A and B are shown apart, each in its own frame.
Chain A
Amino acid sequence: MTDHDNAYEGLLGGDDSQWAFGTDFEDPLAGVDTTIADGVDPAGLAAYCLMLGDDALVYSHRLSQWASNAPDLEDDIALANIALDLLGQARLLLARAAAADPTVVPVLPEGSPVPAEDALAFFRDEAGFRNVRLVEPEDADFGVTVARLLLFSTYRLALLERLRSSNDTVLAAIATKGVKEVAYHRDYAARWFLTLAQGTDESRRRLLAGLAVVWPLRAELFETHPVEATAAEEAFGVDPAVVADEVDLLLEQVLSVSGVERPDVRPTGPLGRGAGRDGRHTEAMGRMLAEMQVVARAHPQGRW
Chain B
Amino acid sequence: MTTTRTAPALETAKRVAAQVTDPEMPMLTLADLGVLRDVAVEDDAVTVTITPTYSGCPAMATMRDDLVHRLLDHGFDDVRVRVALTPAWSSDWISERGRQALRDHGLSAPGPAPAAGGPVPLTLRPTRRDLACPRCGSSATAVTSEFGPTACKAMYRCEDCLEPFEHVKEI
Residues of chain A whose beta carbon lies under 8 Å from any beta carbon of chain B: 16-17, 19, 22-23, 25, 28-32, 74-75, 77-78, 80-82, 84-89, 91-92, 157, 161, 164, 169-170, 172-174, 176-181, 183-184, 186-188, 190-191, 194, 246, 250, 253-254, 257
Residues of chain B whose beta carbon lies under 8 Å from any beta carbon of chain A: 47, 49, 52, 54-58, 60-62, 64-65, 69, 72-73, 80-89, 116-120, 122-127, 144-149, 151, 155, 169, 171
Q: Given A23-B64, A25-B60, A16 and B120 touching (CB < 8 A)? A: no
Please pick, from A16, A30, A91, A194, the residue contacting B56 in the complex, using a CB distance under 8 A: A91
Name 22 interchain pairs, CB-CB below 8 A, sorted by A: A16-B69, A19-B69, A30-B81, A31-B49, A31-B83, A32-B84, A74-B155, A77-B147, A81-B147, A85-B54, A88-B55, A88-B57, A170-B85, A172-B86, A176-B87, A179-B120, A181-B55, A183-B120, A191-B124, A250-B122, A253-B122, A254-B122
Question: How far apart sit A157 and B171, CA to CA, in the bound complex (Å)?
Answer: 15
Please pick, from B116, B146, B149, the residue contacting A188 in the complex, using a CB distance under 8 A: B146
In the complex, the answer to whether A194 meets B120 with C-beta atoms within 8 Å is no
Q: How many A-B residue pairs have CB under 8 A?
A: 130
Which partner residue on chain A sits nearest B127 by CB separation? A187
Interface SS of chain A: helix
In the complex, the answer to whether A29 meets B122 with C-beta atoms within 8 Å is no
Contacts of A78 in B (CB 8 A): 145-147
Question: How far apart sit A212 and B130, CA to CA, in the bound complex (Å)?
Answer: 39
In the complex, the answer to whether A16 meets B60 with C-beta atoms within 8 Å is no
Q: Given A77-B149, A177-B88, A92 and B55 touching (CB < 8 A)? A: yes
In the complex, the answer to whether A173 meets B86 with C-beta atoms within 8 Å is yes
Which partner residue on chain B sits nearest A160 by CB separation? B120
In the complex, the answer to whether B124 meets A194 with C-beta atoms within 8 Å is yes
Please pick, from B52, B65, B73, the residue contacting A19 in the complex, using a CB distance under 8 A: B65
- Extra pairs beyond A81-B147, A85-B56, A184-B147 (11, CB < 8 Å): A25-B81, A30-B82, A74-B144, A74-B155, A77-B145, A78-B147, A84-B151, A88-B52, A170-B85, A177-B85, A187-B122
Which partner residue on chain A sits nearest B90 by CB separation? A180
In the complex, the answer to whether B52 meets A173 with C-beta atoms within 8 Å is no
* 10 closest residue pairs by CB, A with B: A88-B56, A31-B82, A88-B55, A173-B85, A78-B147, A74-B145, A25-B61, A84-B56, A81-B147, A180-B171
